[in-house]
Amino acid sequence: MVLFFAILGISVHDFIPPEMDFPTDMARSISGLVGTLFAIVLGLLVSSSYNAFNGHQADLNSLVTVLANLDLLLKRLQAKDNASRHILSEIVIALHCRYWPEKNGMHWKKVGYANLSDDIDGMIEINKIAESLPGATHDDINAIRQLSSNFVTIQSNIIRNLSNQVPSLLLFIIFGWACLLFFLYGCTGEASLFSIFLLFMGSLAVASTNFLILELTQPYHGIFKVSSAALDLLIDSMEKDQRERSPNKPFATVI
């Protein structure tokens, strides 16, 4: 689209009758103004998208830390067969399937508060079981409750941030500026193959920026994804521990 407006600008310049003076200085002044606005707003938008992506990664790492601490606490309290750790393993697997479905042979589905409701039910059940465990002190129960609360809080933050996408109207306005900018470039430039090539390279840069913004604001699917390494390590640790304690019992799976 941007390249189309650039070629349109070249065509307009070529079709102006010789007796008419093209306002080149004015066109360059306006292109300078639009270019400055475009660069500032686009830079802020890319920076905001990148910060949002890093925020998702930080939230995930915090979430895994909470789950790992909760698992260690339940492991210390567990009896011969602790159902609370089994429920926790189901929650962990569900999280992995939810945010990285392609790794589990599934298709991406929109994440919402309905998913959080299932996790809350699991955490409530874990707390009920933990309260009845032999040897569980008042401090242990409070610690489990606090970790469960932190888990729900972080999950809510992730889901809320996933719903805060870049407004389509904002992108339309910004890249509308890009179309106007390249139209002015075409009007003030020379009609040559090399000029068209340079405009083509510039349009690729603009398109790649749009692609980058959209990718960074959708951090769990696409090319740029939040790393699942921390959650993978937790799953491997829980799976290894469960195999050592119950060799014949399969690890929790979620369909």
Q: What is the pLDDT of residues 59-81, one digit of tens each?
A: 999 999 999 999 888 888 765 55
Output the pLDDT for position 248: 56
Higher pLDDT, 189 or 174: 174
Contact assessment for residue 225 and residue 219, using Cβ atoms and an 8 Å cutoff:
yes
The pLDDT of residue 254: 44
Residues whose CB falls within 8 Å of the CB of residue 216, separated by 6 or more in sequence, listed in order: 46, 49, 50, 52, 53, 224
Q: Environment class of residue 173 by beta-carbon count within 10 Å: exposed (0-12), middle (13-18) or buried (19+)?
A: exposed
What confidence score (pLDDT) does residue 245 get? 66
User: Model confidence over 147-159: pLDDT tens digits?
Assistant: 999 999 999 898 8
User: How confident is the model at residue 66, as a pLDDT?
Assistant: 93
Q: In angstroms, rounded to a whole number, what is the distance separating the alpha carbons of residues 103 and 220?
A: 12
Assess whether pLDDT exceeds 50 at residue 229: yes
For residue 250, what pLDDT is reported? 54
Q: Summarize the confidence of residues 96-111 as an average pLDDT.
A: 78
The residue extents of the domains of the chain are 2-16+23-245
Neighbours of 169 (CB within 10 A): 8
Residue 22 falls in which region: left (phi positive, over 0), alpha (psi -120 to 50) or beta: beta
Residue 87: pLDDT over 60: yes
Question: In the chain, pLDDT over 90 holds for what percent of residues?
Answer: 13
